[in-house]
A and B are shown apart, each in its own frame.
Chain A
Amino acid sequence: MSAGQLPRWVDYGLIPLLNLAAAFLVSGLVVLLIGENPLEAVEILLWGSLGFGEGVGFTLFYATNFIFTGLAVAVAFHAGLFNIGGEGQAYVGGLGVALACLALDQYVPWWVTMPVAVIGAALMGAAWAFIPAWLQAKRGSHVVITTIMFNFIASSLMVYLLVNVMAKPGSMQPETRTFEEGGRLPFLNDLQSWFDFGTAPVNLSLIIALIACVLVWVVIWRTRLGYEIRSFGANATAAVYAGMLPVRIIIVTMLISGGLSGMMALNEIMGSQHRLLIEFVAGYGFVGIAVALMGRAHPVGIVLAAILFGMLYQGGAELSFEKPAITRDMIVVIQGLVILFAGALENLFRPALVRIFTPSRVPAVQAG
């Protein structure tokens, strides 16, 4: 546990910032290589994501997706599980949202549909995580492998449903009919008047996401269940010694994780698209892994990381619009670099920082 030895502000502040700086440095070099000015690119990226109301709105809209998928990954992390299946769980979660909306939108107002849709999303997402969880708990099939495979299964299942079962009659589009008013979450622009988000689809899901953050924090750090989850993740042998049941912890944790992933569909389906359509998850599930890593699996960190990735998505779109030489694919490269440095290379700077900040506080476990 070298992680426990750093001051908190280093672990939660400095390391993410350093990772981010490294990612931007390399991105800057890439921008230079294709003959554009990196500083100008940064300026456009910042302005595009935070410079005006609509930009902020889009940033927050994307951030909402990342909060849900980031939380999902984080909860599993605390139990030592690596849920790579956010993509599939969110996709199937969309089915839960769509079924609720399609069933109710013509009869009741949105605020009646909403709780049903929330439950539907969480249930479907959790159900999709259940089989990998059960296989891990009972059979030891590694959850990383099974959740990845379930992403593909989800993808095929949804194509089948959207083409053969749920498509609008007479339409060739693999999507459902558009929901009526009763199946649409209100845009934040319609709920308040002191900030103008323009035409950005940021909606009530953002508030639900923030509530989910608080709930996750409470569950993980303040309840017996969270205590068991963290114990199991930190030291499975000690958890067994303490009488905790690994099977139960693995399954419950994965259900919560899958449920959170599924709720991402609220934002896209009920909040923005107002219909269930193909491939709406578009990688948000995978990026959630980077969000969780960067946010140190803590809700506050996840919100911040989610906003950062929201900025990259929105600012990146502006950037490729302003600078045709920087294509959309370039933006994906930059996002990829951030994920690489924040996620995969998360420990790149840690050993050096440990040496700087804890010169003589190396774990003394071996002493003797």
Chain B
Amino acid sequence: MTETAAIELRGVNKSFGAVHANKDIDLLVKKGTIHGIIGENGAGKSTLMSILYGFYQADSGSIHVDGVEVKISDSRQAIGLGIGMVHQHFMLVESFTVLENVILGAEGGARLADGTQRAREELYRLEQDYELKVDPDAIVGELAVGLQQRVEILKALFRGAEILILDEPTGVLTPSEADHLFKILNVLKDQGKTVLLITHKLREIMAITDEVSVMRRGEMVATRKTADTSMSELAELMVGRSVLLEVEKTPAQPKQTVLDVQNLRVTDSRGVRVVKDVSLQVKAGEIVGIAGVSGNGQSELLETLAGIRKADHGIITLAGNTLDLTKVSPDPAEIRGMGLGHVPEDRHRMGLINSFSEYENAILGYHQSEQYSNGWLLDRSAIKQEARDAIEKYDIRPPNPDLKTANFSGGNQQKIVLAREIERDPEVLLVGQPTRGVDIGAIEFIHKRLIELRDQGKGILLVSVELDEIRSLADRIIVMFDGAIVGEREPGADETELGLLMAGVEGERA
């Protein structure tokens, strides 16, 4: 046998409650290759990798590393088997130096200096071998994201990783940082390492992998040699239908401006200006999409408009009320009262309280409203009745308002948030990543609901990192890069052109 398998999974199953996250997964990753695993959010990619890295135990099935069946019950064992993982969210101690982070958990001996000296030499060697240049004495928190990721890779290599798993590594990177990462991965491959790349971006798969496996709704639906496949075939396999989601809608009929933002400037807690002089308008009856690589100020823009974040400067006019944010800092309740609904980007962190029951979450942000009070007490029967109505209207499953929201699937959780924000009949709806981690059926429902709301004459400001989503939903697309608006395009605009704008390669200003 010339090609041996670095990793082989046979019949791996994993369920979380009613969610069958991995169904009978077979996977064969050849030694010394870059193997891509592609699938939509929620397809089960991360679960599979967590099983491989020992975070979860498979319910059934077997794992073989270098042809030997192994049991991996924690990450230490995975490391012992030569598996290294670079997480989507870095596992670094920000106040430590690069060197300290690299030896973390592998200090070797009671005297720190021995370990660091050895590590320094080892780092130097790794740097030479793999072109992974990072100053070992720099403080990690002060490094750019791309460099932090390099530290994560160094960490894995320092521990003797032969198989490197990267979970959505480019989500946080600028295009040039991503290019550099791919260069590093190619060097790693040339040195005989095996790389498993988890992503939902087709372009990356095509650019760098040797083979690609496609996951859809917990199943491994296909494995292809990258050279023998195409983007459109992979997309088809991912989505499971021949056409990409096309939302049916009539042309927008925009009327008066309902949200007007003038020269908004926002500084984050580190003192970095994250929103730079943003001005935009949203009219009644239109969806304005904000496109951009995540981390370019879209999140901060949404949070500021919703009253969660303070602005340095800016005037917003919301359904006829003008607020000078330089002088006043309205709170979210106040802004809601003026007719703004807000579907936050991160429903777990912000949009829902997962330990609360569904009906309790159905009034989050509206709990002070008179209709839910019964003298001093909350009118629970009224709240539950309304929750039941929303459950029916939005087809939320399971239809049980007493169930904790943590026990709903991502799509149903999102519907709970949407129902809450839409049913209050807002003039303007801010929507962040409406379909992140949401299954396809729910995506269609959510998109339809947003179009309906638009057609009822409401203004919608949509932020999404999924360009396809923006293109299919929005009536106008605004592109943000590095905190500023760098252009406005029609939804029919060329994808490459939008991509260039999002990457900060400035075309002519629209």
Interface of A toward B, CB cutoff 8 Å:
1, 3-4, 218, 222-224, 227-228, 230-231, 234-235, 237-245, 360-368
Contact = CB atoms under 8 A, between A and B. Distances in A.
B307 A243 contact: yes
Nearest to A241: B350
Contacts of A239: 353
A264 to B, nearest CB: 26
B356 A364 contact: no
B354 A1 contact: yes
Nearest to A240: B308
B50 A360 contact: no
A245 B332 CA distance: 10
Contacts of A245: 331
A3 B355 contact: yes
A361 B406 contact: no
A368 B44 contact: yes
A361 B56 CA distance: 12
Contacts of A237: 349-350
Contacts, number: 114
Contacts of B308: 240-241
Given A223-B377, A245-B331, A363-B16, A238 B351 contact: yes
B367 to A, nearest CB: 5
A243 B332 contact: yes
Contacts of A360: 15-17, 59
Contacts of B335: 243
Contacts of A361: 16-17
Contacts of B410: 367-368
Contact of B332 (A1, A230, A234, A240): A240
B367 A224 contact: yes
Contacts of A3: 355
A366 B367 contact: no
B433 interface: no
Interface string B25-64: 0000000000000000111111100100001100100000
A237 B309 CA distance: 11
A243 B365 contact: yes
B373 A224 contact: yes
Contacts of B55: 366
Given A237-B350, A367-B16, A231 B364 contact: yes
A76 to B, nearest CB: 17
A239 B41 CA distance: 27
Contacts of B334: 243
B482 interface: no
Interface of B: 15-17, 19, 21, 41-47, 50, 55-56, 59, 306-308, 331-336, 342, 344, 348-356, 360, 363-365, 367-368, 372-373, 376-378, 380, 404, 406, 409-410, 437
A203 B141 CA distance: 60
Given A231-B364, A242-B332, A363-B16, 9 more contacts: A224-B368, A227-B378, A240-B332, A241-B351, A242-B364, A243-B307, A365-B354, A366-B55, A368-B410
A368 B45 contact: yes
B404 A227 contact: no
13 contacts: A1-B406, A223-B377, A227-B363, A227-B367, A230-B356, A243-B335, A361-B16, A361-B17, A364-B21, A364-B409, A366-B46, A366-B47, A367-B46
A54 B52 CA distance: 63
A43 to B, nearest CB: 42
A237 to B, nearest CB: 5
A365 to B, nearest CB: 6
Contact of B19 (A222, A238, A364): A364
Contact of A368 (B47, B368, B377, B378): B47
A227 B409 CA distance: 24
Nearest to B405: A4
Contacts of B46: 366-368
A146 B356 CA distance: 30
Contacts of A242: 332-333, 364-365, 367
What 10 A-B pairs are tightest by C-beta distance, nearest first?
A243-B333, A364-B16, A242-B365, A243-B332, A368-B42, A241-B350, A235-B353, A367-B21, A242-B364, A1-B355
A362 B16 contact: yes
B378 to A, nearest CB: 6
B43 A223 contact: no
A241 B365 contact: yes
A224 B344 CA distance: 23
